[in-house]
Amino acid sequence: MAPSKPITRFWEWGKNIICVGRNYAEHAKEMKNTLPTEPLFFLKPSSAYVREGSPIVRPYYCHKLHHEVELGVVIGKRAQEVPQAAAMGHVAGYALCLDMTARDTQEECKAKGLPWTLAKGFSTSCPVSDFIPKEKVPDPHQLKIWLKVNGELRQEGHTSAMIFSIPYVISYVSGIIALEEGDVILTGSPQGVSAVQEKDEIEAGIEGLLTMRFQVAQQKYRP
Ligand SMILES: O=C([O-])CC(=O)C(=O)O
Ligand SMILES: [Mg+2]
């Protein structure tokens, strides 16, 4: 059944957040990762969304919280086993997303062969902008995305540099996970990821379309 809320507030729908990793060669290189031959992907829980006005909270177990600025693709129509040629017909629009990453935890998970959930799926790990309808974006592979910390430019990337295009990612993922209306695909981070501290101000944008700002806070809770 179609959700009754407008897709302009997709982050309230409780749908899937699918994240592609290592989709920009320069970022894979800075992380000393090999280039993927097929998209690498992982999930965040939908409760990971956070909106402007609320802080990004560094988890109590993390000492190296990294920002990754990424273009989010918002699915508008269920997609299962969709060929590349039809993939863009399943897109409702876009959003700017941050794939906040507990990098030290991720390194530990990689070394131990454990899943990345603690590193990628904690609450507030997916700051998200307003919805951008697809009509406003003639070509999603011609966007400049950027991120500043305390006014200093840290990331600047062009979506033309993606290794796997948006139609390919939709086609590939839809052959494994059925995509639903309101799902979002984070398309991977360009280079320049770096650590942020409590009280840091993160500003990110898609050139010519929108900007968003978040402050970093520290989780006080200990189990
Ligand atoms: O954290 C990573 O290594 C992968 C990732 O999310 C990205 O490349 O955007
Ligand atoms: Mg990422």
What is the mean pLDDT for each group of 10 consecutive residues in the chain (223 residues)?
Answer: 81 98 97 95 98 98 98 98 98 99 98 98 98 98 98 98 98 98 98 98 98 98 96
> Which ligand is closest to the CA of 41, given by its number?
1
pTM above 0.95, yes or no: yes
Q: How many Å apart are CA 128 and CA 181, to the nearest integer?
A: 17
The confidence score (pLDDT) of residue 123 equals 98
Residue type, 114: L
The residue assigned the tokens 């050139």 is 207
In this structure, are residues 159 and 71 in contact, taking their beta carbons and an 8 Å threshold? yes
**Closest CA relative to residue 196, chosen from 217, 178, 210, 181:** 217
Q: What are phi and psi of 133, to 5 degrees?
A: -65, 145
Residue type, 97: C
**Closest CA relative to residue 97, chosen from 78, 120, 116:** 120
- Helix or strand (DSSP H, E) at 73: strand 69-75
The residue assigned the tokens 């749908």 is 15
**Closest CA relative to residue 165, chosen from 16, 10, 20, 15:** 20
Backbone Cα Rg of the chain = 16
Residue 13 carries which DSSP code? S
Q: How many Å apart are CA 18 and CA 21, to the nearest integer?
A: 10
In this structure, are residues 103 and 118 in contact, taking their beta carbons and an 8 Å threshold? no
Q: How many Å apart are CA 94 and CA 96, to the nearest integer?
A: 7
Q: Pocket residues for ligand 1 (CB within 6 Å)?
A: 19, 21-22, 27, 31, 68, 99, 101, 188-189
> Whose alpha carbon is nearest atom 2 of ligand 1?
21
Q: How many Å apart are CA 157 and CA 174, to the nearest integer?
A: 26
Pairing, β 91-98 against β 132-133: antiparallel
Q: In sequence order, which ranges of the chain are alpha helices (DSSP H)?
A: 25-30, 84-87, 103-112, 117-120, 166-174
In this structure, are residues 56 and 216 in contact, taking their beta carbons and an 8 Å threshold? yes
Atom index in ligand 1 nearest the CA of residue 23 equals 8
The confidence score (pLDDT) of residue 5 equals 85
Of 68, 69, 120, the one to substitute when testing ligand 1's pocket (max ligand atoms within 8 A of C-beta) is 68
Distance 78 CA to ligand 2 centre (A): 23
